Chain A
């Protein structure tokens, strides 16, 4: 292995709607107001890295909606997971959820998602991006992370190492996430929960909500049965991932990876991370229901899911 800096990798021919460099996220910089960033669908991101035999937090690309075209400048292995986006390599249709060896000059293109919103494209060894504040995760609102603090642009070069051809791997169909447009969000009642009357809590947990046109990596604004809180504002306080904020208009906002770190709207609870990953694949019009769970149930769900992920073996393919 030589120590020359990497100068080649993938050239961005078309950046698509919103393609972002992401590792697992930025932690430890909340005190200066930097949020986590990182993949909204963490599970799909982890699978993309596993298919490339990478560390789980290796830097990959999160492609929202679609339209990304890259030209390979080196030989390497790549994999795409997540939303159902048509993938082609040199014009030939390829499957997601498996790895491919690509050669310098190959053109990798993603169309537009038919189900779900986001895809993850990982390469062997991960993209070689200099971390900012300890992470490569891009948060556009902050202008932090990635190559230049923003989404990928035409002409960007994402460097990565040359990797010789190796055994390709795939994830079997039965383990592949199905993206539906109706989901249950397991939610831990927390924060200002006691300031919502039992009637208001019942309304919240028994009604269906619709994803409004305002949904992004920061948060999903929902519309549906308004929920009223006894108090209007609180002293601004730390907001965790998945927190469900209820502003005065009563319409819930679920806060995700690019959320503000501190805020002053009352919160009724927080959605488990397994379910925020699913939420992040919903489009406008998607339907959600909230189901209350305890902290212990959330802990169990998390570890069961993790154990399932770790037990699932990838299968060799051509």
Chain B
């Protein structure tokens, strides 16, 4: 029996593995490690027996999406193969979580109402001042749980419960590059202009994705991130751009 792993349908060529019961907005480091281990097991199988069958994987907080090749397999077959692989994961990893030396990455943020239009909203909901919201966001050391949504978009968790905020009911058409934002208890820096529904609280001048650089990103899954407030002048000196739209 697989412990706490449910295999669901995602789309015509994709299954999604859910690790443990999902609770809204809650994340767990243990589950995240489980996802990482499962991803590793499947990736090594992709170099051998599943090379033809699996096209790509999308790991996230508590799930792993598996995209398969409809020309060589179907969802029944791939389910069985995944079950066998994950069985070995359960057998081998009981109680043994690989100790992982996380890198700590510090990211500067210009927090202000000017750069973070949702700051007053979050403060009002939490019955805190804007300054307190900013302090709470910096107080935590966050774990990189997943990378996705856009190139270099790192999902960080968890923010203090008091400053958690639901997504906007209608997503913005354009979130500016560098926007530091909150959705539920997750926080992130938008690496490029894109649509999005997170609550923006500031701007970060650091480039989160550069296709030509090695590595392409300043952070990896499993790393730790700390935010540090900077002034408007420091933000501009670091190459930050303020003339952005929040459509």
Contact = CB atoms under 8 A, between A and B. Distances in A.
Interface of A: 27-35, 132-133, 141-144, 149, 188-191, 214, 218, 231-243, 247-249, 260-265, 270, 272-273, 295, 298-299, 302-303
A264 B183 contact: yes
A302 B70 contact: yes
A238 B211 contact: no
B24 to A, nearest CB: 6
Interface in B14-60: 14, 16, 22, 24-27, 55-60
Contacts of A261: 58, 148-150
A33 B149 contact: yes
B10 A264 contact: no
Contacts of B67: 27, 30, 240
A247 B183 CA distance: 13
B60 A238 contact: yes
A188 B13 CA distance: 11
Given A27-B56, A232-B166, A238-B65, A33 B11 contact: no
B192 interface: yes
Interface of B: 8-14, 16, 22, 24-27, 55-65, 67, 70, 74-75, 146-153, 155, 166-167, 169-171, 173, 183-184, 186, 191-195, 197, 209, 211, 216-217
9 closest A-B pairs by CB: A238-B65, A238-B58, A262-B148, A270-B11, A240-B11, A240-B14, A261-B148, A248-B169, A260-B149
17 contacts: A27-B55, A33-B151, A33-B152, A142-B192, A144-B211, A233-B183, A235-B27, A235-B62, A237-B62, A238-B10, A240-B10, A248-B166, A260-B148, A260-B150, A262-B60, A270-B14, A302-B12
A247 B167 CA distance: 9
A173 to B, nearest CB: 29
Contacts of B153: 33, 260, 262
Given A235-B62, A295-B12, 12 more contacts: A30-B57, A32-B209, A33-B152, A133-B211, A141-B150, A188-B11, A188-B12, A232-B166, A240-B11, A240-B13, A264-B183, A299-B70
Contacts of B74: 299
A262 B149 contact: yes
B56 A243 contact: no
Contacts of B12: 188, 242, 270, 272-273, 295, 298-299, 302
Residue from B169, B191, B195 whose CB has the most chain A CB atoms within 10 Å: B195
A131 to B, nearest CB: 12
B151 A142 contact: yes
A263 B149 contact: yes
Contacts of A242: 11-12
A6 B149 CA distance: 36
Contacts of A190: 8-11
Given A33-B148, A144-B151, A236-B149, A260 B194 contact: yes
A41 B24 CA distance: 36
A28 B55 contact: yes
A132 B65 contact: no
Contacts of A262: 58, 60, 146-149, 153, 155
A243 B65 CA distance: 13
Contacts of B191: 33
B158 to A, nearest CB: 11
A196 to B, nearest CB: 14
B211 A132 contact: yes
Given A191-B16, A232-B166, A264-B183, A141 B194 contact: yes
B150 to A, nearest CB: 6
Nearest to B188: A236
Contacts of B216: 32
Nearest to A293: B12
Contacts of B16: 191, 237-238
B150 A142 contact: yes
B147 A235 contact: no
Contacts of A218: 195
A233 B61 contact: no
A69 to B, nearest CB: 29
A260 B152 CA distance: 11
B186 A236 contact: yes
Nearest to A34: B151
Given A149-B211, A188-B11, A272-B12, A238 B152 contact: no
A254 to B, nearest CB: 11
Contacts of B152: 32-33
B197 to A, nearest CB: 7
Contacts of B149: 33, 236, 260-263
A264 B151 contact: no
Nearest to B55: A27
A293 to B, nearest CB: 9
Contacts of B22: 234-235
A300 to B, nearest CB: 10
Contacts of A248: 166-167, 169-170
Contacts of A191: 8-10, 16
